[in-house]
């Protein structure tokens, strides 16, 4: 390396989860429920291996199968469901596929919404020239539906519940920000709005059928904002 030359760290090699704490909020013989911090990977990336998946593998070395049943964006915090073997994984994954799982997110939006509740239906596809950004596309996009409900109006912001009917990449972020959606980006959204200290989007609640008891179970992790 040349002496006296300042070289900036490659952001792709910096682990954003280095000082993050991953909280296990529930565990039994079949499932593990995690509260993922913001700016922390759900699964290993190309260069960064630290993730919810890798930490679960360390904590539960006897667990088999994909373990994580679903994912959250790196910037999104909240509840993730993991399983301890392939049979339990498929049992819960089928509920995701059939959309029988109840999920609720909390988001802080930049702007004051007029309506108290509603449904957003904007089809989405990836922006091929700017991955992983998503675009609203009525011709080639996949169906994406989100129900929302206002919790609190502030001077320049609105706190809402999001109930995603589908689970497209960046669905809640685009549905909030797009002019044909709520036209109110999530606070801290560096892709579809303006970056702040964090993306104010949190997976707060989930309800599904337990793979052993076959009874409904639910879990909640309050939003940290």
Of 217, 214, 198, 212, nearest in space to 78 by CA: 198
In three-state secondary structure terms, 191 is coil
How far does the chain reach from its first CA to its final CA, in angstroms? 44
- The Cα 114–Cα 135 span in angstroms is 24
Catalytic residue among 50, 73, 129, 189: 73
Burial of 221 (0-12, 13-18, 19+ CB in 10 A): buried
Go through 147-172 and write b for each residue having 16 or more CB atoms within 10 A of its CB, e for each that does not. Answer: ebebeeeeeebbbbbbbbeeebbbbb
Active site residue 73: yes
Q: Name the residues annotated as catalytic.
A: 73
């Amino acid at each position: 390396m040349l002496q006296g030359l300042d070289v900036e760290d490659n952001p792709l090699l910096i682990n954003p989860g280095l000082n993050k704490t991953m909280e296990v909020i529930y565990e039994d013989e079949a499932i593990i429920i995690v509260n993922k911090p913001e700016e922390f990977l759900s699964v290993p990336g190309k260069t960064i291996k630290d993730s919810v998946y890798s930490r679960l593998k360390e904590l539960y070395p006897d667990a088999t199968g994909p373990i994580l049943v679903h994912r959250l964006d790196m910037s999104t915090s909240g509840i993730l469901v993991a399983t301890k073997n392939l049979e339990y994984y498929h049992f819960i994954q089928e509920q995701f596929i059939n959309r029988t799982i109840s999920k609720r997110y909390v988001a802080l939006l930049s702007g004051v919404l007029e309506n108290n509740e509603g449904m957003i239906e904007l089809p989405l596809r990836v922006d091929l020239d700017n991955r992983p950004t998503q675009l609203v596309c009525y011709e080639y996009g996949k169906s994406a539906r989100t129900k929302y409900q206002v919790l609190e109006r502030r001077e320049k912001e609105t706190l809402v519940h999001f109930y995603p009917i589908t689970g497209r990449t960046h669905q809640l972020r685009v549905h909030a920000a797009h002019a044909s959606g709520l036209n109110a980006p999530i606070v801290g959204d560096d892709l579809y709005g303006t970056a702040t200290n964090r993306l104010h989007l949190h997976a707060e609640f989930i309800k599904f059928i337990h793979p052993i008891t076959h009874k409904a179970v639910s879990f909640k992790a309050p939003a940290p904002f």
